[in-house]
Amino acid sequence: MSTHATRPRLPRTTALTPGRGGQPRLLIDAPAGSAEIYLHGAHLTAWTPRGGKPVIFTSRRAVFDGAAPIRGGVPLCLPWFGAGVSGDRRPSHGWGRISPWQLRSVQSRSGGVQALFTLERDGIAALYSVDVGEELSLSLSLRRTGATGAEEPVEAALHTYLAVGDVTAVEVTGLEGTTYLDKVTGQAGQVQHGALHIVGQTDRVYASGAPVTLTDPAYGRSVRVAGVRAANTVVWNPWSAGAAALTDLDDDEFASMLCVESAVVGDSAVRLAPGESLSLGTRIAVAPL
């Protein structure tokens, strides 16, 4: 594996081994929880708190070829989201999720494990910390490198795919009264009235990163997603029609997932001059109903 030369010391609760498609991935099996993180995209594809059920959804049709983005898990959208604020950026959601990241350090931490990843590309230095335990804590920072140059808009999202028992039965609270852009209809300035229920294709950028709770009666649990310095929460489900158009998502899988993404995107994009940084995180915790 290309990572061999820079492989850091690994605690005994972790291993760096080839995963699906022979792609290098860090396996974590610590007392407080287990996880799997591919170096392609620094992409977390699984997290299970000890004694619990898997919390993160990854598609059974996900492609692991070291080139395509992985469908599911936590894709890192950076340094732009979708087509960016200008609307013409490619690839969609930026290059973070399709780049090979460096694994810098892996440390045992209060029953869990913290892994640090870095990536430097196109004038951006990215640092990503994954804390695996009874909770999952993800922190991303992006710094403009170089000494001179104009400000540029930077966006980022922790595009978390949550595993749910039945998406039509989940209730999402914490967004009441918040305005959102509805990307399905193209309408901005919508207001969330009451709890959110998923009854069709859903693609919304909320103007809030406050904690959101997903109540999932089919799995008998609630999942709390708390943004850290996140101006936005994106909620996405492609529904059946959208899933049919995605070759890396089985037709029935839209019912087993809901993306709840802590983000800094769109109108909240941060204009960074060289030397300036943007930081963003998410904390995910599970509780029985």
Ligand X SMILES: O=P(O)(O)OC[C@H]1O[C@@H](O)[C@H](O)[C@@H](O)[C@@H]1O
* Sites for ligand X among residues 61-80 (CB under 6 A): 69
- 245's tokens: 């158009």
By beta carbon distance, the residue nearest ligand X is: 236
Tell me the chain's radius of gyration from C-alpha atoms: 18
* In the complex, minimum distance from the CB of residue 77 to ligand X, in angstroms, rounded to a whole number: 7
Q: Which residues in 229-259 are b (16+ Cβ under 10 Å) and which e?
A: ebbbbbbbbbbeebbeeeeebeeebbbbbbb
Least Å distance between CB 27 and ligand X? 24
Query: Under rule CB under 6 A, which residues in 18-47 are in contact with ligand X?
Result: none
Query: Applying CB under 6 A, which of residues 49, 73, 79, 82 lies at the interface with ligand X?
Result: 82
Q: Of 27 and 68, which CB lies nearer to ligand X in the complex structure?
A: 68
Question: What is the CB-side half-sphere exposure of residue 117 using CA atoms within 13 A?
Answer: 26
Planar angle of CA 13, 114, 45, nearest 5 degrees: 80
Written as six digits, the tokens of 185 are 């209809």
Look up residue 262 and give its amino acid. Answer: S
251-280 residues near ligand X, rule: CB under 6 A: 259, 261
CB of 16 to ligand X, least distance (A): 26
# residues contacting ligand X (CB under 6 A) = 11
Task: Give the residue ranges of DSSP H helices in the chain.
Answer: 239-244
Query: Which CB sits closer to ligand X, 63 or 125?
Result: 63
| Contact call for residue 93 and ligand X (CB under 6 A) | yes
Question: Residue 203 interacts with ligand X (CB under 6 A)?
Answer: yes
Place of tokens 């983005």: 69
Residues contributing to the site for ligand X (CB under 6 A): 69, 82, 92-93, 159, 183, 203, 234, 236, 259, 261
